[in-house]
Each structure stands twice: as structure tokens, then as C-alpha cells.
Amino acid sequence: MPTLAKAQLIEPLSPWGAAFDQMYLQLCRDRVPILAALGFYAEHDLSPPEVNSDAIPTKDEEEELRQIASALTVAAAASADMPTGVLVATLQKVSKDPSLFFARELPQPVEWAIADDYQRADEPPGTHWRDVWGDQVATFPGEVEQPTDLNIAKAANAASATIQETRKAGRTRNLADQILAVRLGAIFRRSGQPIRRRNEPVMRRGKLVFVEGGPVYDFLELVLKPLRVHLRERGLAAVTTETIVRRITDNFPKAS
């Protein structure tokens, strides 16, 4: 009989507001190519700013980049040493007793999993992730509301279900890759561009070789930079563009 994972309910420090801030600032530096890759400027009938522009991002640019930074920070938290079974067990316990959340002592991966699926009403999950972090992200613009017991319970239950749905029996998976596939895949899909896995010819060492590529690969290479720095500095498992794209196409098998 398999051993059931036990919930982990205590961790005294949650520094992920600072991690989000750092990743967001790095994304801002590359905001022009990132947003261009998403068709942002064409959609808003705008001319892209100069690549090295020091102009302050607009409110719409900020919101787009914050969604990306949120996905990266959730993935960073998931890369910490917390077994998936323990994460799921903890989320299930919080879904049954949301008062555990309000003690503000939950482990970092648990808090970010809740934030990533948090909803006030019918808006996309994670839109109001700042509600979960409260004063830890008070320096960021945007309205913050006190989360309710019901919404915390719903978010914990949704996060638990999402993680369990993406697990494959007998196979160890990098949860960060899956989080990035779901969140960044959804962001890229909103651009209206198809998500395909395809081989493209490139020259390497004077030889023609074929590698996986395309618009979604280019987008991921741009936005993953801050997360890769974060993971490398802490000696955590790396994330790869190819794996994320494979997971995206697994999630959206009918993409064309």
C-alpha cells in the first residue's frame, strides 16, 4: 500500500514578493521584444517603442508583463525542495480548512499555488494573485482586497486538482515545467498564434542541422531569462524550452 504524503503547514519566511519584483524588472528591460512576440503592439494599433527605450511601461504593458512574472515566480517557488505529494496534501488540507492560510506560515510553493489559481469571481485564475500576498506586494500598483475563506478554499482545491491532473504515474516530472506550460502557454495562445512543434534548419559549426523552433520557442527564450538566472543562482533544477513546448502541446493537442 502506498504511503500517503503528509501536509507541510509551517514555513516562517516567504520571500517571493522580492523574487517577483526582480523578475518583473528584468522582463521590463526586454519588454519590447517580449510584447512584440505576443502581437501586443499590433493588437493595440501601436508602433513598438525603441528596444532600448527608457520610457515607463504603460498600464497595459505592465499588466501583460506582471502575468508573465507571476508565472515565472510560481515556477520558481515550485522548484524549491517540496515533493509534489506533500504539496498536494497541503493544498487539500487548506481547501478543507482555509484558516490555515491566514496564519501566513504556509510553505512558499503552497502560497504561490494558491495565488496562481485564486479568483474573486469569474475572472481568469491568478488575475488577483496580489490578494493572496497582501502587504508583501504592496509596493506593486493594483487594487488588493482581503481574500475570503471561500475563495482561498476554492483556489487551494483548484491548485490541487490541476497538479494531480498533470501527474503521470511512475514518472517524476519537473512541476516548474508544467506550471510554465500551463500559464505561459495560455498567455501565448491569447496572441492568436498557433502553437506548433516543428523543426527548423540552422547552421552549426558549418553543418546544416534541424532543431525545434518557431514563434512560441522565441517567446519562451525571451521570458525565461529571469527565471533561469534565479534557478542557476540557487542551484535548482533548470527548465528547458523544448520540454515546456512539449507540455504545452500535450495540454492543447488540437493546436494547429
Which residues, 6+ apart, have CB-to-CB distance to 218 below 8 Å? 37
Query: Residue 169: its pLDDT value, please?
Result: 46
Domain map (residue ranges) of the chain:
7-256
Is the torsion defined by CA of 71, 76, 80, 83 positive or negative? positive
Give residue-wise pLDDT tens across range 47-77.
877 766 677 888 899 989 998 998 898 888 8
Task: Report pLDDT digits (tens) over 152-165.
Answer: 999 999 999 988 87
What is the residue-averaged pLDDT of the chain? 80
Residue 254 pLDDT > 50, yes or no? no
The predicted pLDDT at position 195 comes to 77
Per-residue pLDDT band at 172 (split at 50, 70, 90) = low
CA 225/CA 55 separation, integer angstroms: 21
183, amino acid identity: R
227 pLDDT higher than 60? yes
Tell me how far apart the alpha carbons of residues 48 and 54 are, in angstroms, rounded to a whole number.
13
Nearest Cα residue to 150 out of 109, 96, 206, 199: 96
Spatial neighbors of 242 by CB under 8 A, at least 6 apart, are 212
Q: What's the pTM value of the predicted model, to 2 decimals?
A: 0.65
